[in-house]
Structure 1
Amino acid sequence: MNRREEQNSEIFLRPRFSIMCERKATEVMHTLLSNLKENKKDFKTRISDNHIFIDIPEKETHFWSPQLHFEVVEDEGKTKIKGLFGPKPQVWTLFMFVHFFVATAFIGFTIMFYVKNKFGESVVFPLVMLVVLPIIWFLLYFLGQFGKQTGKNQMDDLKNFMKDILENIN
């Protein structure tokens, strides 16, 4: 088997992988689609062009349920399969929105603290917010880690299902 796989460390909230193989992308995609039909199990799959999305079965889904997305890309006669495990896009978007809001609020309260301090006004409220906002950042981080732990068994199921699908791509 002439296949090379790369993975990130366990620290990431959205682990990625990539697999290189010697076959053309159309052949790999055809093999993947036939393997998906054979190994369907209860996973929900969606296919769009060279993208494959695999979700946890509906009856087992919860807020922290992961999703597997991989893309088949042709690269100089070889094929690269790029994969991403992570939360559903809605959860990820919500987390990014909250992070952006907290970062923007932090900048705003820093400016408010500076202006109020220069004018000799009370700086209690902006100072309190400059302490509270980093605490919220830490809480978001730990909430993300909690979510990752909650969905770990389902991520393992997705990974095993993916290995079944990718077993004979070379």
Structure 2
Amino acid sequence: MADVAIRLRPVTEPDLAMFRRFATEPGLIGLDWAGFRDAQSYARRFATDGYLGAEDGRLMVWADEELAGLVSWIAGQYGVAGRHFEIGIVLLPEWRGRGIGWRAQAMLCDYLFAHNPVQRIQAATHPENLAEQRALEKAGFQLEGVVRACEFRAGQWRDGYLYSRLRDDPAPAL
């Protein structure tokens, strides 16, 4: 699937239509559906900083010059000097399973390491999401372990898997 050209770019106003779909179409986002959300909150956030904030952000994933989804990051902190980012991805269903996700996540890590002095980038996924586990490993992440009862989804508390990639871990070949 390496023949699909992937690029990341900042959010533009027309992209907000996809964000609104994720907030209002159950199941479109996959296992991360957390109920209906304020579909106008995306426009308010975009007007604030274009989704390029100091503590979090989003970039759009383009595959073969078509909008395929988005990647995101949010800052976190371990201890006094342990600033890190946690990343996420969501692809539209027609782009899943085509080798785009792992490359987009690897590209996001390269971008974040190039522009921020963080040592650690982490990502979490669901135990049943085998495709995302493979994608994270291809993107250079290592499984750290199970985070018990960390997420309330579909009416119950569920475990998650925590992965990380450190600055000095080998980057995957894109």
TM-score where L is the length of structure 1: 0.32
Q: Which of the two has higher C-alpha Rg?
A: 1
Higher helix share: 1
Higher relative contact order (CA 8 A, sep 6+): 1
Higher strand share: 2
TM-score where L is the length of structure 2: 0.31
